[in-house]
Structure 1
Amino acid sequence: MTDIEELKKVVAQLQKEVTRLSDQEEVRKLQYKYGYYLDKCLYKEVAELFSDHPDTCVEFLGGRYNGKAGVKRLYIGRFAKVFVNGRNGPVHGFLLDHPQIQGVVDVNADSTRAKGRFRSMMSAGTHESVKDTHPRGLVQWWEGGIYENEYIKEDGVWKIFRLKYFPFWHATFDKGWSHTKPNYVPFLSTTFPEDPIGPDELCSNPMLWPDTRVVPFHYEHPVTGVQVADDDLRAPHFGKDSSTSAPPLTLSEPASQA
């Protein structure tokens, strides 16, 4: 191999690496922008971040909203109705801040799809001045959650493909997470169209605090190259065998890789 051929090979490898790093950053920025829009109840903008692919979905509180229509039903239908009376944008005195942090993004070899894991720590509630006019009354709560998402590049633009959010725990502001009541936020149980703003289907084995099962990692261990064992993703009671725990959580996969 000549020096020129060797140089061309090095340049090609560098170009591929630059593309990979650029795509990782674009996906990370996409998720961060999602968080900024969601914080201010800009649900139309949130919905437009999603792909038009037929396998697009959002998984939330034990329900799966399928396709772009399902995405809009969740954000523009359910969330907008409950939090801001159907408008697009915030309402006075309502807080819903949940930063997107600890992002781990991996892009496939073709730079067409990616997976990302993010953490959210939410502070939310109403100001006392709106307690008589907002349907939630006077309320303050904490929430922690994990995203294990998939992304797709369409016409050169990265979009959210399959958003899977596991709201790991909730707690009232004053009493904290040690005193969270069971079923604090009820899992979705009725599907569309029976529930006009419900999910298209229900997911198996939903979880909330004090259930502490691990949301599976999309990536292998960076040193050993091995996935975490299923039994180690479970959460038995102290001193009990893992077989006594609820089954390990699983991540759904798209029907098509196209």
Structure 2
Amino acid sequence: MSDEIQELRQIVAQLQQRVEKITDTEDVRKLQYAYGYYLDKCLYKEVAELYSDHPDTCVEFLGGRYNGKEGVKRLYIGRFAKVFVAGRNGPVHGFLLDHPQIQGIVDVNSDGTRAKGRFRSMMSAGTHESIKDSHPRGLVQWWEGGIYENEYIKENGVWKIFRLKYFPFWHAQFDKGWSHTKPNYVPFLSSTFPKDPNGPDELCADPMLWPDTRVVPFHYTHPITGEQVADDDLRAPHFGKDPSTSTPPLVLSRPKSETTNGAA
């Protein structure tokens, strides 16, 4: 009887661990979805509050890295709010910025304290003709597609965004489509804070935009082989050319506290 009780206890413990992992996974996915809903309506204060207070917290966007909670606020409450909604927290009439968070793959570590997630976004954005003379963007409508490779952290029992890394793959004018997009359609960030009051703390190496089609590295291994995709297979050479002729593969940054030389 004692052996059966011990076996049942082990089964209960295993099930409890599994339930906790499933719950953590769903909580992280819900966190990312909440991020998307807030961002769609320019609720930048709410977006910033989703982030961790950890010193290694960051946002990577358009070739720039915004560090710490102050950097997060500088991007959303400073840069985005100023450009899109004249500094307010919330939407303005006639401005569209919808980008669903989809195709999420979330992996939680064995301790249930950290997680990584890969999500896709497909954005439709622009202005209504009724505000073309009052909004600084004028009359414009565009498409955007991108990949997130994010890290999350549990603080005091609550999951928060730790390091958000968004790679906007491509942009396209609504009427002409992606085949006619000019290279560097949205200029990469080129000036850092404080020279640019709403700029990043540092610039990232080898940023990319369409027609560059390099692969954002996967945080997970292949589910069958257990292997990572080879670096050369992450490159995007011209048709028929050797991978070595292309731009170096993208590399996901790591927290400074987890690197030997302090580089992110």
**TM band (smaller chain):** over 0.9
Q: Secondary structure at the match of 2:162?
A: strand
Structure 1: gaps spanning 5 or more residues: none
Q: Which residue of 2 aligns with 1:58?
A: 59
SS of 2:9's equivalent?
helix
Structure 2, unaligned runs of 5 or more: 259-264
Residue of structure 2 in register with 1:133 after alignment: 134
CA drift of 1:182 comes to 1.5
Which residue is equivalent to 1:228? 229
Distance 2:95 2:13 in 1: 51
- Trace 1:91-240 onto structure 2 (pairs within 5 A): 91-240=92-241
* Distance in 1 of aligned mates of 2:24 and 2:255: 21
Structure 1 residues 77-134: Cα deviation after superposition (integer angstroms, max 9, x where no partner): 0000000000000000000000000000000000000000000000000000000000
Decide which moves more: 46-55 or 2-11. 2-11
Runs in 1 of length 4+ with deviation above 4 angstroms?
none
Alignment size in residue pairs: 257
Query: Residues of 2 paired with 1:245 and 1:222: CA distance?
Result: 28
What residue identity is the alignment partner of 2:95?
A: F
Q: CA deviation at 1:208?
A: 0.2
Partner amino acid, structure 2, of 1:58:
V
- Find the aligned partners of 2:35 and 2:194 in 1 and give their Cα distance: 27
How do 1:20-31 residues align onto structure 2 when only pairs under 5 Å count? 20-31=21-32
Return the TM-score normalized by structure 2: 0.97
Structure 1 match to 2:45: 44
**What secondary structure sits across from 1:72 in the alignment?**
helix
- TM-superposition CA deviations, 1:164-206 (whole Å, max 9, x none): 0000000000000000011110000000000000000000000
1:244 aligns with 2:255: no
Q: Secondary structure at the match of 1:174?
A: coil
Deviation at 1:255, TM superposition (A): 2.0
Matching residue of 2:262: none
In structure 2, C-alpha distance between the alignment counterparts of 1:86 and 1:167, rounded to whole Å: 23
- CA–CA distance in structure 2, aligned partners of residues 255 and 179 of structure 1: 39
Letter in 1 for 2:133: D
Aligned to 2:8: 7
- CA separation in 2, counterparts of 1:95 and 1:195? 26
TM-score normalised by the chain length of structure 1:
0.99
Identity rate of aligned residues, in percent?
Answer: 84
Q: CA deviation at 1:256?
A: 2.5
SS for the counterpart of 1:204 is coil
Inter-partner Cα distance in structure 2 for 1:20 and 1:127 = 44
In structure 1, how many angstroms separate the alpha carbons of the residues matched to 2:204 and 2:256? 16
Shift of the alpha carbon at 1:30? 0.2
